[in-house]
Amino acid sequence: MNKQSGIHYLREHREAGSSNPVPAQVVRIRDTVVAGLGDLLQGAFDAVDDSLFELANNARSNNEQNRYFEAMREIRIKRKGVERHFQNAVAQLFANPPQSGSVAAEESLSGQTSSDSLSLVGDDDLEEQVALNAMITKSKVHFQGPLLQLQARFSAVYPGASEETPVNPMAPEHLCSAFVEAIQALEIQIRERLILLKQFDRYVVSNLGMLLDEANRILIQAGVIPNFRYQGKAGKQRDSSATGATSESASETAAAAGSQQGHHEGAMFEQIRQMLAHQRANAGIPPRTSDPNVHLVGGAELANLLGSLPQQPPGEKFSGNLSAGEPVMVDLHQIVQQLLAQSGSTADGKKPALNEMDEDLINLVSMLFEFILDDYNLSAPVQVLISRLQIPILKVVIKDKTFFSKATHPARRLLNSLARAGIGWSESDEKTRDKLYEQIHAIVARILNEFDGDVTLFETLGEEFEQFLARENRKSSLVEQRTRESERGRIKSQKAQETVDQLLQKKLARYKLQEPVKNILLNGWSRVMFLAYLRDDVEHRWLQTVRVVDDLIWCLHPHQDDEERDQWVRVVPGLLKSLRAGLEEVSYNSSRLDEMMSDLKHELTEAFRANALAEAMEDTPEPEPEEEELTGHQTAIQRQQELEDAAIAEHVAQIDAIEIGNWVEFNLVNGASFRCKLSAIIEEADCFVFVNRMGLKVIEKSRTDLAHEMRRGRLTVLEQGALIDRALDAVVGSLRSKAG
């Protein structure tokens, strides 16, 4: 690749400056990141090998096949060297972290050079640079939140860094540039190089989240900006896959069960009419048929009258944005009465009036929209948009009365689909940038502009909307699946680190150990234990790493008994060999490793020689509180815990009733709220993971935390049944309560 390219800034930066000591808080992060990236890179190289083999197997000519096999051979031979180069380059990033944005700066400088210099950049180099830039941009968007936190924390740790000159050794542009520098040793053509970059993106860059979270956790543990607050694009989230699956399955279920529901809903409609007639009788309103001076208008005649009515309420103007403002309830009964009055009396002087069935239909439409506009489960933008459809739906109902008796009615299905698809909106700010909002907005606009009484328009729009949802759901399902896998990996990694930290702290708290010994356990061997815990398909690997810790502590105790001293002589060589092998396996800094092993040998030798160390190595007695005081304290804590458990017991049961795919709303202390969907329950960590409409993680909480949120009124489980079905149930309940 052209030496003028920005990707060579790493080599130039290292040659220009000397290696600086890494801040103490960053040492553990460096070792964790170097080892973790090494593991991820192995997966990338394995995938490259498989890809090249597949291409060779499907090659159209011998020359093409030989080319791929030669590339496979080249990569296999130099793979270890590339891995070492990459890991060393990453470690160097922590010693001399480039200022944030240095790549962009160099590229902007190179972009200002003359056309002659640009002509020196070949097509292959340009193609590789484009792929690299796309990889970096995508990762910076995807991991924006963790990267911003990490940049702030690293800038607080490194001397010389500041808000004006921030640093982040783990920035994607730095890691990608380190990899591109490392693969310069590979003599392969551009097609194979792009395959290598693609797999690096897939296996390494796309999985940076776990390492970024771990780095943030370590710095928080060290007290570096523990309470980071950021409100930006990363906080705005969208919908998820299971919603798509839920909406698709729900619509299929509704269609399949339509014939069974028809009789029930027809009976419900008749029940509603009877209750409305009962209300009229109680109010002393005589039947319309008994008045000879009234001309009853209904059916086709009323439909023709409504055909002249504009889709928007008279006197109300809508801007291009139909969801602007608050939802407005239209007085449908008054509008129809005005139409009747405008139509005038008949030739025989009879005044027009609604027949009772059509009046009941109009009242029922009004009651349905009252429910819809008060429904907390509807997101605000969709609620406003649906409120614009009151007059079109009235026209539909008057012309086709099966709207209430058939779940498969096109207009009814469309309303249900719109409400269900928009349940995940949290803020109205999202709508200007959201394809789903644009689709719903366009549907409402088409109904207002094109509906002429033909219900097939709703059927056409419903089919188009279902097709759109199917495409969107496929995308979000992939994102959500990736989110779940990433979260499971991150939580497993977090649990592994917590287990290692707790075990080492517990053992180190019991003994007084010299600083070199603590250093090798906390900053070196802890990584070996961490990886053993993650990889431990067979239990003994983890137990072996724990046994090494126990053996090391035992060997550092002075032993006067001849049998114990003989055992010491047998154990130490194997112990040192295990320590070195484990630390080399996690790519611990080779020069530092030799120094640490030398210090450890010295400590072991001193422990073997000097009986005077016995006092220094004795168990550190922990202060024992008085029994009465301890018992009383524990009792108070237990009582408080019992009260807390009793208070949230009911809510814990409600939390357990939430199913994967259910939507909830969180209300924050500052009055803001957001909606998200339960995507995964990771039982081993008691962790509930929630995602937005696009399948991206929004929040994670334990079962107890969720129960407390629900108890405080900050968590609401949203109802996700069909909108019209819920509205009809509410109307029936309201009429029954009015009837006593």
Q: How far apart are CA 187 and CA 172, in angstroms?
A: 25
Using pLDDT thresholds of 50, 70 and 90, give the confidence band for residue 631: low
> Is 536 found in the same domain as 452?
no
- Residues 263, 373 share a domain: yes
- Whether residues 296 and 337 share a domain: the answer is yes
Residue 633 has pLDDT above 60, yes or no: no
Claim to verify: residue 262 and residue 212 sit in the same structural domain? no
Lowest-pLDDT range of 610-624, 662-676, 687-701: 610-624
Query: Where is pLDDT greater, at 284 or 509?
Result: 509
Q: Which residue has the tokens 């700066």?
A: 105
State how many domains the chain has: 4
State the average pLDDT over residues 156-176: 87
Q: Which two tokens stand for residue 546?
A: 């724990």
pLDDT tier at 9, thresholds 50, 70, 90: very low
Does one domain contain both 117 and 88?
A: yes
Task: Indicate whether 481 belongs to any domain.
Answer: no
- Among the three residues 430, 456, 475, which one is the final residue of a domain in this structure? 475
Question: Within this chain, do residues 156 and 62 fall inside the same structural domain, yes or no?
Answer: yes
| Of the candidates 371, 419, 386, the residue with the CA atom closest to the CA atom of residue 731 | 371
pLDDT band at 144 (very low <50, low <70, confident <90, very high): confident
pLDDT greater at residue 513 or residue 28? 28
At residue 177, the pLDDT reads 92
Report the alpha-carbon distance of residue 584 to residue 590 in Å, rounded.
8
CA-based radius of gyration for the chain = 35
Within a domain: 600? yes
Domain endpoint, select from 593, 617, 641? 617
Residues 101 and 230 in one domain: yes
For the cut 90, the answer to whether the pLDDT of residue 206 exceeds it is: no
Q: Check whether residue 466 and residue 522 sit in a common domain.
A: no
Q: Which domain, by its residues, includes 610?
A: 512-617
Residues 410 and 559 in one domain: no
Residue 492: inside a domain: no
Q: How far apart are CA 664 and CA 723, in angstroms?
A: 17
| Out of 159-163, 312-316, 561-565, least confident range | 312-316
Say yes or no: 354 and 211 in one domain. no
Least confident span in 49-53, 492-496, 627-631: 627-631
pLDDT at residue 397 in the model: 87
pLDDT at 121 over 50: no
Query: Three-state DSSP class for 438?
Result: helix
* % the chain with pLDDT above 90: 8
Please check the confidence at residue 250 and state whether its pLDDT lies above 70.
no
Q: Is residue 424 part of a domain?
A: yes
Is the four-CA dihedral 300, 303, 307, 308 of positive or negative sign? Answer: positive
Spatial contact of 131 and 195, defined as CB atoms under 8 Å apart:
no
**What single string gives the DSSP state of each residue in 506-518?**
HHHHHB---HHHH
Over 50: is that where the pLDDT of 254 sits?
A: no
Establish if 499 belongs to a structural domain: no
Whether residues 673 and 696 share a domain: the answer is yes
Residues 667 and 673 sit within 8 Å (Cβ to Cβ): yes
Q: Which residues contact 45 (CB under 8 A, 6 or more apart)?
A: 75, 79, 83, 199
Report DSSP state, residue 23.
P
> Which pLDDT value is given to residue 385?
86
Per-residue model confidence (pLDDT) at position 90: 92
Tell me: do 593 and 688 sit in the same domain: no
Q: What is the mean pLDDT of residues 587-592?
A: 76
Position with higher pLDDT, 449 vs 271: 449
Q: What are phi and psi of 347, to 5 degrees?
A: -60, -30
How high is the pLDDT of residue 12? Answer: 41
Examine residue 365 and state whether it is found in any structural domain, yes or no.
yes
| pLDDT score for 332 | 85
Taking the chain, what is the end-to-end CA distance rounded to the nearest angstrom?
A: 84
Q: What tokens were used for 316?
A: 């109300």
pTM attached to this predicted model: 0.51
Hey, is 427 helix, strand or coil? Answer: coil
**Mean pLDDT value of segment 296-311:** 76
668 vs 168, residue with greater confidence: 168
According to the model, what pLDDT value does residue 426 have?
60
At residue 582, does pLDDT exceed 50?
A: yes
Q: State both tokens at 378.
A: 């509807």
Residue 593 has pLDDT above 70, yes or no: yes
Of 220-224, 452-456, 561-565, least confident by mean pLDDT is 561-565
Q: Quickly state the pLDDT bin for 266 (edges 50, 70, 90).
A: low
Which pLDDT band, with edges at 50, 70 and 90, does 112 fall under? Answer: very low
Cα 579 versus chain centre, distance: 39
Strand partners, 167: 99
Per DSSP bridges, beta strands 687-691 and 673-682 are antiparallel
